C-alpha cells in the first residue's frame, strides 16, 4: 500500500478504505498487553529512523515496513514480538540485536519477550542500514 496523500485523515487511504496504518493501529489495540505496547514502541522507532517508511499489512495481518523493498516484519506470538529483517544477514549488527533466525543465509530476527529492553539507538541504526541496503545501487551484470 502507498502512503495516503497529504491531508488524508489517518486510517483512510483516500478511497475510503482502511489503510495499512489503521490496520496496524487496530492490531496494536487488539493486543491489549505487553505485545501491543512493544509493537507500538518498535513502530515508533522505525518511523523515527526512516520518516519515509511505507507500512503494509501482509500474510493475514502481519505488519510490514518497507522502503525500496522490505525492511522488516512485526509478527506477534504468545511469548514474543518477532522482528524479521528481510536482508538481516547482510546488515551490520554491532550491538548484537539479532537473536533469532541466525542460521539462515538471508534473514535475521529480533525476538522481544515480555520485559525485554531494546536499544533504541542500535535498532534505529539497524533500520537505517536496511534502508541503505535496499537503496544501494545494484551491481551490473557483465557477460563473460
Nearest Cα to 63, choosing from 31, 98, 107, 15?
31
pLDDT tens track for 6-52: 433 344 444 445 799 999 999 999 998 999 999 999 999 999 999 99
pLDDT tens track for 58-117: 988 899 999 999 999 999 999 999 999 999 999 999 999 999 988 888 999 999 999 999
Q: Which residues contact 64 (CB under 8 A, 6 or more apart)?
A: 55, 56, 57, 58, 70, 72, 73, 74
Give the chain's count of helices (H) and strands (E).
3, 5
Q: Which residues contact 34 (CB under 8 A, 6 or more apart)?
A: 114, 115
Amino acid at each position: 500500500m502507498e502512503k495516503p496523500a497529504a491531508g488524508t485523515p489517518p486510517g483512510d487511504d483516500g478511497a475510503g478504505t482502511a489503510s495499512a496504518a489503521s490496520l496496524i493501529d487496530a492490531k496494536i489495540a487488539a493486543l491489549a498487553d505487553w505485545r501491543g505496547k512493544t509493537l507500538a514502541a518498535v513502530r515508533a522507532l522505525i518511523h523515527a529512523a526512516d520518516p519515509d517508511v511505507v507500512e503494509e499489512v501482509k500474510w493475514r495481518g502481519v505488519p510490514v515496513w518497507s522502503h525500496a523493498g522490505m525492511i522488516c516484519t512485526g509478527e506477534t506470538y504468545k511469548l514474543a514480538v518477532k522482528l524479521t529483517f528481510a536482508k538481516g544477514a547482510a546488515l551490520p549488527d554491532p550491538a548484537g540485536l539479532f537473536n533469532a533466525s541466525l542460521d539462515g543465509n538471508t534473514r535475521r530476527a529480533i525476538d522481544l519477550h515480555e520485559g525485554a529492553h531494546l536499544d533504541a539507538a542500535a535498532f534505529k541504526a539497524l533500520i537505517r542500514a536496511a534502508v541503505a541496503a535496499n537503496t544501494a545501487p545494484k551491481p551490473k551484470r557483465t557477460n563473460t
